[in-house]
Chain A
Amino acid sequence: MKKIKVGLGTCGISAGGELVFNKLKEEIKTKNLGIEVNETGCMGMCYEEALVEVVDDNDSFLYSNVTVDKVGRIVNEHLINNKPVIEWIIKSNEVSKEDDFLKNQKRIVLRNCGVIDPTSIDEYIEHNGYKALEKVLKNFSQQEVIDMIIKSGLRGRGGAGFTTGMKWKFANQEKSEKKYIVCNADEGDPGAFMDRSVLEGDPHSVLEGMMIAAYAIGSDEAYIYCRAEYPLAIKRLRTAIKQCESRGYLGKNILGSNFNFTIKIKEGAGAFVCGEETALMASVEGKRGVPRLRPPFPANKGLWGKPTNINNVETFANVPWIINNGWEKYSSLGTEKSKGTKVFALAGKIKRSGLAEVPMGMTINEIVFDLGGGIKNDKKFKAVQMGGPSGGCIPASMGDLKIDYDEIVRTGAIMGSGGLIVLDETTCMVDLARYFLNFTQNESCGKCTFCRVGTKRMLEILERITIGKGKENDVDILQDLASKITKNSLCGLGQSAPNPVLTTIKYFREEYEAHIRDKKCPAHNCSALIEYTIDEVNCKGCGLCIKACSSNAITGSKKAVHYINQELCIKCGRCFDVCNLDAVIKN
């Protein structure tokens, strides 16, 4: 009996997965084939979307880059005549084209993503779902659960890496009638989509993790704070919560125990700072999401003044696996102080961009090259950016660095939530620092002067450097401002805002100097510092560039060498892109 799964995560839908899904259903119906077509979440190989998997009793065939036009052949040859269309298949018993991407991964958090139908609680249950909850409610005391999580070595995946079990212990020790669990699904890093993929692809695993946490600390109510920009994740969560309520996994006397628990969703409203836990709680309470001083920590005084335990989506998704498979197995993975796995959203200039879960301790080079297939268009690997606006750049020369909370902090970057942006020789590090500073500057809540005004000053300096107006001592001023902002900001946003600037100065100082002294952008990225010219030898006067130029900056008669008027040129680079003879030179 055949079954079909279509990847309908956000990226699958964007790549046309929904059209493929509908077309498949339609064909199967008109041809009366009676084959089930289901949706599933992110399989990780976003670079191969749209993905369709045909599963039969003995094998499963993964089709990549499927378009509506390809559906007909798949239906006729594979579904009807049992002859898989081999040239479109990337994975089956016989074919293993994408093995490099898959074989080095260890899927714990993503165990069900791209495997099960996220809208079906039965499929989740078939895949060991809610077994951990059952186990916990039947066999373990609160203390035993907390001990297991502590011994597993699980650390918070929201960025800071605090030991999860310890956090639960603090919340457990508080004496209070009311306690809250909060799931932080704000995912503010503007280059990251791990949490979203988990919520879209396997919402129940997050809910189950929350239930176990609630039992352990003695809470009966929870909120999931999810970005409003994630409509699909919110929809899947709503469905999952409803299913749990009707099956008795949520509500009163869950599974016959005396554990009661409800989960509500709060939609964020678009403010990066609301990912910070105290700001998040203010936002849930309906106020402006402004951070407050800690202590008191949420475990003592959180939502509406009650003890509250906040964890990240990925943190929760790890919990059922740990209970089911034992803390020993979890802590056998990883490095001495960073256990288990980490999910990364690989993006940027990498060939295979997508979602990958790797054991802690894997090196950056292994991720970028072995798994990610190296750099697009065979350019040179320059650095990875980790931790988004709070993180930093780690240069290619440190590619042997192991993925480990403490090792990464030593470089000046942070593990962050899992955004891993790969940069190549065409990325300007000064511009990237400017990009992140612009982001944090916009998102500062404005409470602390240094975060509000200091980041503005830094941004102004970075802006003038990228247009060639940098001053000799600008780098020193940046460093000085950075240390003041770090020291005088209340929350993590301000404290870590200078990281992207500091790490790029640390590892790529010569790029800053080239902008400031030579008025050159070595990566040929900053438009004010580049000039397009036409090479007299290579130019055959084909006229393509004239057509491409929207500013009428190019002149030249047919078959004669063309010329660019620098006064009119807006440096859009289109002439550079269209010239087939490499006659347009970027300098």
Chain B
Amino acid sequence: MNNTEVQEKKSIPNFKIDLVNKRHQNGSLIPLLQTAQDSYGYIPEKIIYYISELVGIPAAEIYGVITFYSQFRLKPLGKNLIRICEGTACHVNGAKSILTALQDELGITVGETTDDGIFSLQSVACLGCCSLAPVVMINDATHGNLTMDKIKKILKKYKTEEKIRIAS
């Protein structure tokens, strides 16, 4: 997710070129997986086999690397990515009640995506703006100094926007 903010989204043909270019570099597996995730939003199974053939690492080993790192996903993300900070400053400033509110509103827990594919919920450690704790990031926007009511209002806004979009 974060990478996409930095490197512009790559198209799939470009992705394949990128893969071929990177395969001979030392230690290229993780960057390859990061590129794959940037292109597809997650790492599809067929890509694991594709990469395996390309770099000559068994698919099982690649799978082991994917599951070791929390950055990698084997399933696509929802349209809006909600990241709740569970860093220490946010924890002592009440992140738990914000999480409860999010879970109540969305009906999912951390690591899940809503059935309609509109929201995904993830937790992260320190977003770097502890002075605004507790903090939630929705897509690229940071929301700080949250209370249970404030986060519910913010979610409502996103939900309404989504409804308007579907209606039009």
Binding site for B on A (CB under 8 A): 9-11, 13-15, 46-47, 49, 188-193, 196-197, 228-231, 234-235, 238, 266-272, 283-289, 304, 345, 347-349, 353-354, 385, 388, 419, 421, 423, 427, 432, 435, 439, 445, 550, 572-574, 577
Contact assessment for B131 and A266 in the assembled complex, using a CB-CB cutoff below 8 Å:
no
Contact assessment for A229 and B2 in the assembled complex, using a CB-CB cutoff below 8 Å:
yes
- Nearest CB of B to A401, in Å: 20
Contact assessment for A287 and B144 in the assembled complex, using a CB-CB cutoff below 8 Å:
no
Determine the chain A residues whose CB is within 8 A of the CB of B104 once the complex forms: 550
Q: Does B41 contact A (CB under 8 A)?
A: no
The 5 closest A-B pairs by CB, nearest first: A191-B88, A190-B125, A269-B69, A347-B130, A286-B29
Looking across the interface, which residue of chain A has its beta carbon closest to that of B147? A577
Contact assessment for A10 and B129 in the assembled complex, using a CB-CB cutoff below 8 Å:
yes
Could you pull out 17 A-B pairs where Cβ atoms are within 8 angstroms?
A10-B129, A11-B129, A14-B142, A193-B126, A228-B34, A231-B5, A238-B6, A269-B30, A269-B34, A269-B72, A271-B70, A285-B26, A345-B130, A348-B89, A349-B93, A432-B91, A439-B125
Known: A191-B126, A285-B27. A11 touches B68 (CB 8 A): no
Given A190-B87, A229-B125, 15 other A-B residues pairs in contact with their CB atoms under 8 A: A14-B144, A190-B126, A228-B3, A228-B71, A229-B2, A231-B2, A266-B31, A267-B30, A270-B70, A285-B27, A288-B65, A347-B88, A348-B93, A353-B89, A574-B148
Contact assessment for B128 and A193 in the assembled complex, using a CB-CB cutoff below 8 Å:
yes
The listed residue (A10, A228, A574) touching B128 by CB distance below 8 A is A10
Binary interface profile of B, 104-138, with partner A (CB < 8 Å = 1, else 0)? 10000000000000000000111111111101000
- Nearest CB of B to A346, in Å: 8
Determine the chain B residues whose CB is within 8 A of the CB of A188 once the complex forms: 125
Contact assessment for A267 and B34 in the assembled complex, using a CB-CB cutoff below 8 Å:
yes
Contact assessment for A228 and B2 in the assembled complex, using a CB-CB cutoff below 8 Å:
yes
CA distance A269 to B73 in the complex (A): 11
Looking across the interface, which residue of chain B has its beta carbon closest to that of A427? B92
Contact assessment for A288 and B68 in the assembled complex, using a CB-CB cutoff below 8 Å:
yes
CA distance A574 to B152 in the complex (A): 13
Known: A348-B88, A432-B92. A283 touches B142 (CB 8 A): no
Contact assessment for B130 and A193 in the assembled complex, using a CB-CB cutoff below 8 Å:
yes
CA distance A334 to B88 in the complex (A): 28
Determine the chain A residues whose CB is within 8 A of the CB of B2 once the complex forms: 228-231
Determine the chain A residues whose CB is within 8 A of the CB of B69 once the complex forms: 268-271, 289
CA distance A578 to B142 in the complex (A): 25
Binding site for A on B (CB under 8 A): 2-3, 5-6, 26-31, 33-34, 64-65, 68-72, 86-89, 91-93, 97, 100, 104, 124-133, 135, 142, 144, 147-149
Determine the chain A residues whose CB is within 8 A of the CB of B133 once the complex forms: 347-348, 353
> Number of contacts between A and B (CB, 8 Å)?
144
Determine the chain B residues whose CB is within 8 A of the CB of A432 once the complex forms: 91-92
CA distance A48 to B164 in the complex (A): 36
Contact assessment for B129 and A46 in the assembled complex, using a CB-CB cutoff below 8 Å:
yes
The listed residue (A231, A270, A385) touching B6 by CB distance below 8 A is A231
Determine the chain B residues whose CB is within 8 A of the CB of A289 once the complex forms: 68-69
CA distance A2 to B34 in the complex (A): 44
CA distance A202 to B87 in the complex (A): 24
- Nearest CB of B to A15, in Å: 7
- Nearest CB of A to B60, in Å: 12
- Nearest CB of B to A148, in Å: 33
CA distance A228 to B97 in the complex (A): 27
The listed residue (B28, B86, B88) touching A419 by CB distance below 8 A is B88
CA distance A354 to B130 in the complex (A): 8
Known: A191-B126, A577-B147. A46 touches B92 (CB 8 A): no
Looking across the interface, which residue of chain A has its beta carbon closest to that of B142? A14
Known: A10-B129, A11-B128, A269-B71. A423 touches B92 (CB 8 A): yes
Determine the chain B residues whose CB is within 8 A of the CB of A573 once the complex forms: 97
CA distance A46 to B128 in the complex (A): 10
Determine the chain B residues whose CB is within 8 A of the CB of A10 once the complex forms: 127-129
Contact assessment for B124 and A421 in the assembled complex, using a CB-CB cutoff below 8 Å:
no
Determine the chain A residues whose CB is within 8 A of the CB of B68 once the complex forms: 271, 288-289, 445
- Nearest CB of B to A61, in Å: 22
Determine the chain A residues whose CB is within 8 A of the CB of B29 once the complex forms: 286-287
Looking across the interface, which residue of chain B has its beta carbon closest to that of A42? B128
Looking across the interface, which residue of chain A has its beta carbon closest to that of B62? A286
Contact assessment for A354 and B131 in the assembled complex, using a CB-CB cutoff below 8 Å:
yes
CA distance A230 to B6 in the complex (A): 10
CA distance A190 to B123 in the complex (A): 11
Determine the chain B residues whose CB is within 8 A of the CB of A347 once the complex forms: 88-89, 130-131, 133
Contact assessment for A14 and B26 in the assembled complex, using a CB-CB cutoff below 8 Å:
no
- Nearest CB of B to A238, in Å: 8
CA distance A189 to B91 in the complex (A): 13
CA distance A191 to B144 in the complex (A): 16
